[in-house]
Amino acid sequence: MQLTPGLATVLTLLSLSISASAASGSLTIPLAKKSSVTRPDGTVNIEFLRSHTARIAAKYRHTFAAYEKNTGSQHSLLASLIPRNDDASSETKSKGEGVVPLTDENAQLWQGTISVGTPPKKFTVDFDTGSSDLVLPGSNCGSSCSGHTLYSPSASSTAKDLGKPFSLAYGDNSTVKGEQWTDTVNVGGLIAKAQTLGVASQYSEGFGLANFPADGLLGLAFPSISSYPATPLFNTLMTAKPAQLSQPLFAFKLSTSGSELTLGDVDTKAFKGQLTYVAVSAEGYWQVSLDSVNVGKTQVAKNAQAIVDTGTTLIATSSANAKTFYAKIPGSKERSDVFPGLWTVPCSSASQINVSLTFGGQKFAVSPQTFVLGAISSGSPDCMGGVMGQGAAGDAWIVGDVFLQNVYTVYDMGNKRVGFANLA
């Protein structure tokens, strides 16, 4: 969510290990959290925050640029989310559904496992609803990819060189670049043949192992923000012959009690009540109307636009919106001296903070446990709040892990809508 150093915010990475679900030919991919803005001692990891926000800010820059190149028009949220200034610094199941279990280790990067090539080789990837491309570190990547599992096209009989380079500039003054290839990709037992992927010969600092434990990135947004441009993996699955999906949708459960990505169906045991669906208001990102942002019974924002982004940890918005938001939380402080756009709340009253977001007329709570990210330093009475604001104007919000850990979300590409429900 950091389109600005603050708007990019802290990324959510998904780490998977395949696990089977019993429901009618379904597959589950467990998701794991591998890195965190919160240190083991309960304090905020400012260095991670700095690296992550720069990388996410850059993600939105190049996806907005891709949208304009692919559609011929500027994205409607460009002015709201791009800062005026940037000072930041082979498992196979029957057809129908794939479920990828997601692991949670200390909160920050949701990652899961896919297999690529023939014979298949396993990689962990960040499943990111805020981008559309698949990127893996290549065998010629060198020290910038140190510690990651490397993809070698020469080791796969189904790999094909497209002869096209790619280059993604990031806010840490470094670049992810390499060559585009196609190969067979297996996600939870679902097969995408001739899938375009970027094979990186250079990773940026933000993709270094310390900041990005996953090997690569797998985007799950719409084709119009593909930077290659190419058909995203989920769209490949939607049109595959024979059919790979029971339904043209996928869903996330992101929770410390067990996380997963489901492809082609929903896990009805993962949520309670009914799903509340909201139409995608602008195809590209998973962008929907946000009725309101609430602190207690007070609406601090209303009739806004939101991007639902599993690749970002915080909830991010403009500086003005953040100021209005925290004005309703007694004892909150703006702490740009620690990090641009960061706000704190009193640790002593953190458990009483009542934040919620309203989508489709339904209010969904943000628990204090996900909203409060830890003490600003060891022994400090001030804790970091989960809403960050910086730089940009407008009423757009990027809704990441701080909110998404509280709800089950369904991304229905066939009907172009997002569903929300409370976790079971």
12-16, 136-140, 160-164, 241-245: least confidently modelled range: 12-16
Per residue in 124-142, pLDDT (tens digit) is 999 999 999 999 999 999 9
Element (H, E) at 364: strand 362-366
- Select which of 104, 128, 172, 267 is catalytic: 128
Q: Is the pLDDT of residue 85 over 50?
A: no
Which tokens is 199 given?
A: 């094979």
5-263 and 268-423: same fold? Answer: yes
Torsion sign (Cα): 313, 314, 315, 318: negative
Q: What is the C-alpha separation between 179 and 39, in angstroms, rounded?
A: 36
Looking at domain 5-263, its CATH superfamily turns out to be: Acid Proteases (2.40.70.10)
pLDDT computed for residue 35 by the predictor? 55
Q: Quick one: CA torsion of 149, 150, 153, 158, rounded to 10 degrees?
A: 10
What Rg value do the Cα atoms of the chain yield, rounded?
20
- Select which of 172, 183, 265, 309 is catalytic: 309
Q: What is the C-alpha separation between 18 and 319, in angstroms, rounded?
A: 41
Q: Is the pLDDT of residue 100 over 80?
A: no
Query: What Cα–Cα distance (Å) separates residue 129 from each residue in 197, 221, 312?
Result: 16, 5, 9
pLDDT computed for residue 201 by the predictor? 96
Q: Quick one: CA torsion of 88, 377, 342, 350, rounded to 10 degrees?
A: 160
Q: Quick one: CA torsion of 390, 394, 109, 287, rounded to 10 degrees?
A: 180
Residues in Cβ contact with 280 at an 8 Å cutoff, skipping those fewer than 6 apart: 286, 287, 288, 416, 417, 418
pLDDT computed for residue 216 by the predictor? 94
Q: Quick one: CA torsion of 201, 286, 373, 295, rounded to 10 degrees?
A: 160
**CA distance between the termini of the chain:** 27
What CATH number is given for 268-423 in this structure? 2.40.70.10
Burial class, 94, CB count within 10 angstroms (exposed 0-12 / middle 13-18 / buried 19+): exposed
Per residue in 261-312, pLDDT (tens digit) is 999 999 999 999 999 999 999 999 999 999 999 999 999 999 999 999 998 8
Q: Is the pLDDT of residue 207 over 80?
A: yes
Q: What is the mean pLDDT of residues 77-99?
A: 51
Per residue in 139-182, pLDDT (tens digit) is 999 999 999 999 999 999 999 999 999 998 765 456 899 999 99
pLDDT computed for residue 1 by the predictor? 31
- Quickly state the pLDDT bin for 45 (edges 50, 70, 90): confident
pLDDT computed for residue 107 by the predictor? 40
What is the share, in percent, of the chain residues with pLDDT greater than 90?
Answer: 64
Per residue in 381-408, pLDDT (tens digit) is 999 999 999 765 568 999 999 999 999 9
Average pLDDT, the chain: 84
Residue 128 annotated to the active site: yes
pLDDT computed for residue 78 by the predictor? 75
Q: What is the C-alpha separation between 94 and 26, in angstroms, rounded?
A: 7
Domain definitions of the chain by residue range: 5-263, 268-423
Strand bridging mode 286-295 / 271-283: antiparallel
- Quickly state the pLDDT bin for 47 (edges 50, 70, 90): confident
Q: What is the C-alpha separation between 113 and 68, in angstroms, rounded?
A: 32
Per residue in 328-384, pLDDT (tens digit) is 999 999 999 998 899 999 999 999 999 999 999 999 999 999 999 999 999 999 999
